[in-house]
Structure 1
Amino acid sequence: MPPRPQYGTKAHVIAALDAEPSPETSPTVGVDCSEDPLCQQMLDWTGNGWLAESSFWLIVKPFRILLILLVALLIRWAVHRMIKRLVRTSTHTSVPTILKPLRERIPNAPTDPTAVVPERRRQRAEAIGSVLRSAVTAVVFSIAVLLVLSELNFNLAPLLASAGIAGVALGFGAQSLVKDVLSGVFMLLEDQYGVGDTVDLGEATGVVEAVGLRITTVRDGRGVLWYIRNGEIIRVGNKSQGWAMVIVDMPIGFAGVEEATAVMRAAAAEVAADPDLAAHFVEPPDVLGVEQITVDGAVIRTVAKTTSDGQFDVGRELRRRLSEALDTSGITARIAAGRMFPRPAAGNGEADNRGGAT
Structure 2
Amino acid sequence: MPFVHSVHALVVGQATPDDAQQVTTREAVDVLLARPVVALGVVLLTWIVTRIARGLLRRGVRRVAARSVSHPNSFWRVRVQRVFGETPELAEKRRRQRIDAISRMAGHLFSLIAWVVAFIVVLHVMQADLVPVLTSAGFIGAGLAIGGQHAVKDLIAGVGILVEDRFGVGDRIVIETPTGREVDGVVEYVGAFSTRLSSGDSTFHFSNGKLEHVRNLSQNPVTTAIQVPLPDDAHTCDHERVADAVSFAVSQAAGDRSLTGMVLVDDVRAAVRTSADGEPHLAVEVRTAQPLTGTQADRLHRVAARAYERMPVVASGTPAGGRARPGHRPRPSNADDDRS
**Where does 1:116-195 land on structure 2 (aligned, <5 Å)?**
117-195=91-169
Conservation of the 8 A alpha-carbon contact between 2:251 and 2:268: no
Letter in 2 for 1:213: A
Letter in 2 for 1:95: A
Aligned partners of 1:49, 1:226: CA distance in 2, in Å? 64
Root mean square deviation of aligned Cα: 4.8
Report the Cα offset of residue 152 of structure 1: 1.6
Report the Cα offset of residue 187 of structure 1: 0.9
Aligned partners of 1:316, 1:84: CA distance in 2, in Å? 50
For the pair 1:267 / 2:245, whether they are aligned, the reply is: yes
TM-score (norm 1): 0.58
| Shift in alpha-carbon separation, 1:289–1:204, aligned structure 2, 3 A | farther
Aligned partners of 1:288, 1:160: CA distance in 2, in Å? 76
Q: Determine the structure 2 residue equivalent to 1:53.
A: 27
SS at match of 1:192: coil
SS at match of 2:284: strand
Conservation of the 8 A alpha-carbon contact between 2:224 and 2:285: yes
Q: Determine the structure 2 residue equivalent to 1:215.
A: 194
Aligned partners of 1:289, 1:106: CA distance in 2, in Å? 45
Conservation of the 8 A alpha-carbon contact between 1:251 and 1:299: yes
Aligned partners of 1:226, 1:172: CA distance in 2, in Å? 27
For the pair 1:231 / 2:209, whether they are aligned, the reply is: yes
Aligned partners of 1:228, 1:293: CA distance in 2, in Å? 50
Gaps of 5+ in 2: 7-21, 256-262, 313-340
For the pair 1:250 / 2:233, whether they are aligned, the reply is: no
Cα offsets for 1:45-67 (capped at 9, x unmatched): xxx98223223224431342133
TM-score (norm 2): 0.60
Out of 302, 319, 343, the position equivalent to 2:284 is 302
Q: Which range is displaced more, 125-134 or 251-260?
A: 251-260
Report the Cα offset of residue 289 of structure 1: 6.2
Q: How many aligned positions are there?
A: 272
Conservation of the 8 A alpha-carbon contact between 1:201 and 1:235: yes
Q: Which range is displaced more, 180-189 or 167-176?
A: 167-176
Structure with the larger RCO, 1 or 2 (CA within 8 Å, 6+ apart): 2
Out of 326, 333, 336, the position equivalent to 2:308 is 326
Conservation of the 8 A alpha-carbon contact between 1:271 and 1:317: no
Aligned partners of 1:249, 1:320: CA distance in 2, in Å? 10
For the pair 1:71 / 2:35, whether they are aligned, the reply is: no
Aligned partners of 1:228, 1:94: CA distance in 2, in Å? 27
| Shift in alpha-carbon separation, 1:289–1:50, aligned structure 2, 3 A | farther
